[in-house]
Structure 1
Amino acid sequence: MNELVVTVPATSANLGPGFDCLGLALDLWNTTTFRIGGDGIQVCVKGEGAGQLPEDSGNLVVQAFTALYVRREATMPRDLQIECHNLIPLSSGLGSSTAAILTGLIAANFFLGQPLSKLDLLRMTIDIEGHADNAAAALFGGLVLVAADVHPPVVRPYPLPALNVVAVVPEVRLPTREARAALPEKIVRADAIFNLNRLALLIDALREGDRRLLLTAMDDRIHQPYRFPLIPGSHAAVLAARELGAAAALSGAGPSVIAFANDNAYAVANAIQAAFRNAGVNTRCYHFTPTMQAARWYG
């Protein structure tokens, strides 16, 4: 086959207490078409990132594609056209970089005859990106718990009921490197126990769609208290959502805030945006449902 289409969902990781081990696939997709042929490596980016992302070998999709060919000691196609239709906002905590890496790896794996399994693709994504939660959710769909420190990684996907998810993306630049640097080297025992307890409750609350339990289960002491000060308005936004009965947290390392609403999703979104606005920060808002569909490809 000389043509392949890859679609990868947006993802939200951490989800309060689920630091680096819990991810959720969301119904917002990047779709990328690969064609063997043309003249050299050509990339066209449409939608999110158009005019910003590299349209040459510096593009993250191309870098991931190339990395797998290098690892397999295979010869790269000399002529490759890549057309990216991106809906996932960049640098938002909604898994845009993970989507790009997986897109490149999935395509390379396809053209190489699919020597890698899903777990192999997950392991290589971890090697490139450094963490597993977004990638596991994108590759397996739904809510996913992942242990990445074993080989192969252990992945446990969970089906979910219909949930109303709001994500508010503030215009705040927060490099992942800076968000990681804000975390303490050590945590106290009480905070570790707190997060272990809340993580167990969170998985149960999401699987049952128990929004009242979610209000307790989304609490965190390991990463959010250290990252809220980096994102003006974010702590107030989480509290504003909670006042309306919606459990909220940073999405990934931020800067986005994600909330699980009842039938009041638009009121929750307005409250979160107002909190950011009061801090002088402009925002964009998305309304999602979790998706059980994983990354997929067809040629």
Structure 2
Amino acid sequence: MTLTQLPPGTSVAVRVPATSANLGPGFDAFGLALELRDEVRAEVVAAGLEVEVEGEGAGRVPLDERHLVVRVLREELTAAGFAAPGLHLLCRNVIPHGRGLGSSASAIVAGLAAARGLLAAAGVVDESDEALRQRVLVEATRHEGHPDNAAPAVVGGFTIAWTRGDDPAHPAGVRTVRLEVHPRVRAVVCLPQEELATSRARALLPATVPHADAALTAGRAGLLVHALTSDPDLLLDATVDKLHQAQRAPAMPRTARLLAGLRAEGLAAVVSGAGPSALVLTTPERVADVEALAAADGGWRVLACPVADTGVSWSPAAP
């Protein structure tokens, strides 16, 4: 296939939020966007590849064609029939890696949005915002395998995402609804120093679960929708899960201990994504309680992160 070269000087700036998936009972379906954003600036140049990384991942992630944003960006350009003769990429990362805050999904969404943004900046595509976001959601799900992190990264807020049929890569195969979070809800993230690969955490999940556990979790997932959007006083009951958190506890014993301590004090604490971070869904007057309990346990970095009302954004990059 012959690819059309984008003109040098074409550039785009992308900002994408961190996300927390599952939220306890909403396994592989629920997600929450957090106001903690990575920034990517992509510019088409005459030749070569230069990748700069600042912040999280600096000195650890590859700076060549293996870089996740580069791989996804190039793949998306190719799918559209275009290529960049050369590329300069600047990544300013604040989303912690390997902690269950959707860093890989955010990178994938950033790469997809950067590609579509470059095409728009070059004047070769003219997509509505809705169509662009749907394409990014579908393609990010294809890369990730499930849409729970991709959906809030794309549209922001509290999301419920699902796939239709057997082909999530089909344009109609992935769907999400975005719900407004109650204004009193606060998200507090407790970050450990250690990392945990999602693949390792997922490998601990059993192939089957008892019917009673599935039924209980389904009920609490429904309650969580109500608690997050209308009645934060129900968050503790609404975040009970029997499908994945206890099963993954052997891979993150410190997280399991902190969760038990937080929940014993009436705080709605869950594993963030695949872990090992803990996410606490609480109200303003109890944020200090989370901080105090995490400090007493030791070794935790606590971030009070507002819910991100918007997902990924992109605009022409400043010179």
- Superposition TM-score, scaled by structure 1 size: 0.93
Question: How many Å apart are 1:214 and its aligned residue?
Answer: 0.7
- What is the one-letter code of the residue matched to 1:19? F
Alignment partners' CA distance in 1, 2:189 and 2:44: 37
TM-score computed with the length of structure 2 as normaliser = 0.87
What are the equivalent positions in structure 2 for 1:4-23 lying under 5 Å apart?
Answer: 4-23=12-31
1:97 to 2:104 alignment: yes
CA distance in 1, matches of 2:296, 2:250: 18
Question: How far off is 1:266 after superposition?
Answer: 2.6
Structure 2: give runs of 5+ residues left out of the alignment: 1-8, 120-124, 166-171
The superposition leaves residues 178-230 of structure 1 with CA deviations (integer Å, 9 ceiling, x where unpaired) of 1111000011111111111000000100001x333110110100000111121
Q: Which residue of 2 aligns with 1:203?
A: 225
Larger mean Cα displacement after TM superposition, 216-225 or 258-267:
258-267
1:297 is matched with 314
Offset at residue 171 of structure 1 (A): 2.1
RMSD: 1.6
Distance 1:257 1:5, change over 3 A: same
Structure 1, unaligned runs of 5 or more: none
Report the counterpart of residue 244 of structure 1 in structure 2: 265
Instruction: Determine helix, strand or coil for the equivalent of 1:155.
Output: strand
Whether the 8 Å contact between 1:244 and 1:268 is mirrored in structure 2 is no
Instruction: List per-residue Cα deviations over 1:156-195 (Å, max 9, x = no partner).
Output: 1101123221101112231111111100001111111111
Find the counterpart in structure 2 of residue 270 from structure 1: 292
Asked if 2 retains the 8 angstrom alpha-carbon contact of 1:145 and 1:155, the reply is: yes
Partners of 1:230 and 1:27 in 2: how far apart? 27
Matched, 1:168 2:175: no
Residue of structure 2 aligned with 1:194, choices 193, 216, 224: 216
Amino acid at match of 2:156: G
8 Å CA contact retained: 1:99, 1:138: yes
How much identity, in percent, do the aligned residues show? 35
Whole-Å Cα distance in 2 between the matches of residues 76 and 270 of structure 1? Answer: 51
Matches of 1:10 and 1:230, distance apart in 2 = 22
CA displacement 1:31-67 (0-9 Å, x = unmatched) = 1111111541111001111111111111100011122
Cα drift, residue 21 of structure 1: 0.3
